[in-house]
Amino acid sequence: MARKFFVGGNWKCNGTIDHVKKIVTMLNESEVPSEDIVEVVVSPPFVFLPLVKALLRSDFAIAAQNCWVRRGGAFTGEISAEMLVNLGIPWVILGHSERRSLLGESNDFVADKVGYALSQGLMVIACVGETLEQREAGSTMDVVAAQTKAIAEKITHWTNIVLAYEPVWAIGTGKVATPAQAQEVHVGLRKWLSEYVSSEVASSTRIIYGGSVNAANCKELAAQPDVDGFLVGGASLKPEFVVIIKSATVKSSD
């Protein structure tokens, strides 16, 4: 089953109203492959979601960068999945390594969030990835499998999930995984899905790579058979994001 190339832009905690308007204008004016070739989702900070929703072209979708683990209520500072749905935001990024490491989000907590977000009708970009220490200790697959297993135990269907493999050592560091390193982990994740979930889920779930993707390295990464797209941080704030979106054509020209 063909997996549509997916490119997500994670704007993280960046931007002002003017800056956001400039990025959206740049995206709106860009020429990119059609929707049947690539799915594009941008993820602004919460406060800019309505603005981006009002201005962004209709063939690009929007993701929030996080949401609360349960129904809203007395949880100061949190944003609930219901609020995102109410706002018409279809996607949410969950389990990003910055939240796992800086805010102490555990595998179980992330998995609970994924389960709850899906139950409310959101689509989820679920992030997994190892630290440099874990890679050097040879435990990359164990780490990403444990993160994926926690999620698998909390959900009943995978249709609305994109799995983002984001090695922590490659995020925001300029140190990108080699195409071979990315492919190896993506294959490992697909094998894990096949063994512990189903072969159908393994072949249909999109596994995207994230970690210092830019205009110069995206084509070679996109050419890997199990790399189904990207989650892009720093470069998603720049015109080179369009070049990354265009790397989807590497797949369609197979």
Of residues 202-221, those binding ligand PEP (CB under 6 A): 210-213
Inter-residue contact 11 to 237 (CB < 8 Å): yes
Q: Interface with ligand PEP includes 49 (CB under 6 A)?
A: no
Of 59-67, 81-89, 145-153, 228-236, the segment contacting ligand PEP by CB under 6 A is 228-236
d(CA 2, CA 20): 33
Backbone angles phi, psi at 241, to 5 degrees: -60, -35
186-to-133, 194, 229 alpha-carbon distances in Å: 19, 12, 11
Q: Is 166 labeled as catalytic in the residue annotation?
A: yes
Q: Interface with ligand PEP includes 144 (CB under 6 A)?
A: no
Q: Which residues contact 32 (CB under 8 A, 6 or more apart)?
A: 38, 40, 242, 245, 246
Q: Interface with ligand PEP includes 130 (CB under 6 A)?
A: no
Inter-residue contact 60 to 31 (CB < 8 Å): no
Q: Interface with ligand PEP includes 44 (CB under 6 A)?
A: no
Q: Interface with ligand PEP includes 166 (CB under 6 A)?
A: yes
Q: Interface with ligand PEP includes 65 (CB under 6 A)?
A: no
**Measured from the CB atom, is 197 or 207 closer to ligand PEP?**
207
Q: Interface with ligand PEP includes 237 (CB under 6 A)?
A: no
Give me the least distance between CB of 164 and ligand PEP, in Å please. Answer: 7
Give me the least distance between CB of 166 and ligand PEP, in Å please. Answer: 5
Among 7, 56, 171, 207, binds ligand PEP (CB under 6 A): 171
Of 46-54, 166-174, 199-207, 216-224, the segment contacting ligand PEP by CB under 6 A is 166-174
Catalytic residue among 39, 130, 166, 186: 166
Among 52, 234, 247, 251, binds ligand PEP (CB under 6 A): 234
Catalytic residue among 96, 98, 130, 186: 96
Of 24-32, 71-79, 83-91, 226-234, the segment contacting ligand PEP by CB under 6 A is 226-234
Q: Is 96 labeled as catalytic in the residue annotation?
A: yes
Q: Interface with ligand PEP includes 10 (CB under 6 A)?
A: yes
Residues in contact with ligand PEP by the rule CB under 6 A: 10, 12, 166, 171-172, 210-213, 231-235
Query: Catalytic residues, which ones?
Result: 96, 166
